[in-house]
Structure 1
Amino acid sequence: MKEKEEKVDEELKNSSSNDSTRTKTHGEILKEQIVEGCKTYDRSKRSILLSSFTAGLEIGFSFLMLCSLFGFLEGKVAEESIFKLMALVYPIGFILVVLGQSILFTEQTSLLALPVLNNKRSILSLFGIWGIVILGNVIGGILIALTLSWVGPNLGLFDAEIIAKIGKHYVDYSLPTILVSAILAGWLMGLLSWLVTSSKETTSEIFIIYIITAVMGFTGLHHSIIGQIEIFAGMLVSPEIDFVVYLKTLFTALAGNALGATIFVALLKYRAFIFNVKMP
């Protein structure tokens, strides 16, 4: 077992290349992800909490754009079409978060799991850092939800009824449906992290972020962090969304996102590399 780990580390070390013009290999991407994940583990807890709090705030700009677009198109376009068109602005907050290097739970889930799979960090430290990131994301999201729920109607961008419609649209499913939907969203977010690492310039990073999150927006897959902003804001203005519904939906979406990113990206990508390592 130890020999296998040493061989894997050696293969990862040899994955580096000085050729900046060619496409990165599987090993190079994996190595960068593990190194980046370890750097996050080595940050202070206060730094992680503040960065994740910032991400919770920044992702709220997607919510602002969703509500504003809905308010602009309401009465001009069928409501079903509006929910599909919202995919055009859904990526805004994600672009701000990822390029701004803030720590978003779903974007960091697979990244933080890889050092555990590589035996560089423990499973307990993974759960600990996930807890800090989720706490920061949720607190930031609640604050921006409170802010936008007040300022949006006062600016005439949208009203409380629109906030309620978006919130109800997110929670209006059974918990098993939300779980599977969140697994797919977590899978996509893990791939986003992987593909951003594989890219070589900012333009391609923006394109990757936009395409993947637009798919999530168009299909209505459940992303826990922006979703909790939608639910919390809806809870503020609608009696149909109570605190129990908020908590059930949030925890189900968090679990699904974690499973999707960890299993379908971190574990499968890592095992694919391991299976290709030949022992002497």
Structure 2
Amino acid sequence: MDDKKNQEKEKQKKEKQDRIDHELDKKGDESTEKDETTDKSHGDILKEQIMQGCETYDRSGSSIFLSSITAGLEIGFSFLMILALFSFLEAKLAEDVIFKLISLVYPLGFILVILGQSILFTEQTALLTLPVLNKKRSIYSLFKIWGIVIFGNLIGGMLIAFTLIWLGPRLDIFDEHAIAAIGEHVVDFPLMTVLVSGILAGWLMGLLSWLLTSAKDTVSQIIMIFLITGMMAFTGLHHSIIGNIEIFAGMLVSSKISFTDYVYVESMAILGNAIGGAVFVALLKYRAFVFNVKMP
């Protein structure tokens, strides 16, 4: 009797999934028939996001890892501009004002990474979760690819941190005081605060990925990246990848930042970013579509 009930449940699940896939395919067919001036629907964007996520899964591990290192390196240009701006304004403005103005240069690295198609963990979190929700990929494959991307992003960030710590003082752009000030500012919060802050940052980055899929031109994409990442910087939300560079570099030059601080804060930021993107974007956007799918 139990076996029969289980079989019936599995049959219903399969029928439901087939119906969801049918609706997504229909949305995809409809979107190809629309002209470029027509706004994309929720289903259109979801279909494209799932397809983009699957394309990343289909890449080789070496390709993903190299692209992730590249993203970690490229986002370091945001850190370069942050340090340059901080040093330039330090004697002219109050420190709290400078941290707000940093939001004007913070988006640069994100623009380079995202438009350059390098793989950034926070921008890919929701994107890689959607194929799992749609049963196109397994939860194991999700955690595996997350691990590769995070590791690559962190390695790239550490490499650019070493480079900038060496280069900045020699070019007289900034000194170790600026590096320490930025790092200490990022870690100066309780871990629970970092976690919740990371969730909001991951949520915003997941939304950014969603919005970029709906954008029709590069200018619109740049504006979206600038607004979303600028908001993160202005409010001080914790982004695990650029935060990795800020804290790691600060740890190398400041006695106030220990390796334990680096590990704890970075871990909370990564966890928060993952939750924000996977739950508050991927899951909610996917379920909103699924709940509207009617069985025949």
What TM-score, normalized to structure 1?
Answer: 0.99
Separation (CA, whole Å) in 1 of partners of 2:239 and 2:224: 17
Q: Residue deviations 1:75-100, cap 9 Å, x none?
A: 11111100000000000000000000
Aligned residue among 287, 290, 294 for 1:271: 287
User: Any idea what SS the aligned residue of 2:237 has?
Assistant: coil
Write out aligned runs for 1:128-277 (5 A).
128-277=144-293
Q: Which has the larger radius of gyration?
A: 2
% identical equivalent positions: 67
Separation (CA, whole Å) in 2 of partners of 1:267 and 1:27: 14
* Aligned residue type for 2:211: L
Gaps of 5+ in 2: 1-12
Q: Residue deviations 1:170-196, cap 9 Å, x none?
A: 000000000000000000000000000
Pairwise CA distance, 1:278: 0.7
Separation (CA, whole Å) in 1 of partners of 2:262 and 2:172: 27
Aligned residue among 68, 75, 79 for 1:59: 75
* Aligned residue type for 1:9: D
Report the equivalent of 1:77.
93
Separation (CA, whole Å) in 2 of partners of 1:73 and 1:241: 24
Report the equivalent of 1:9.
21
Separation (CA, whole Å) in 2 of partners of 1:68 and 1:57: 17
Report the equivalent of 2:133.
117
Q: Residue deviations 1:34-75, cap 9 Å, x none?
A: 000000000000000000000000000000000000011111
User: Any idea what SS the aligned residue of 1:14 has?
Assistant: helix
User: Any idea what SS the aligned residue of 1:102 has?
Assistant: coil
Separation (CA, whole Å) in 2 of partners of 1:235 and 1:149: 11
Aligned residue among 24, 27, 30 for 2:43: 27
Separation (CA, whole Å) in 1 of partners of 2:38 and 2:52: 21
* Aligned residue type for 1:4: K
Give 4+ residue runs of structure 1 displaced > 4 Å after superposition. none
What TM-score, normalized to structure 2?
Answer: 0.94
Aligned residue among 55, 80, 99 for 1:39: 55
User: Any idea what SS the aligned residue of 1:141 has?
Assistant: helix
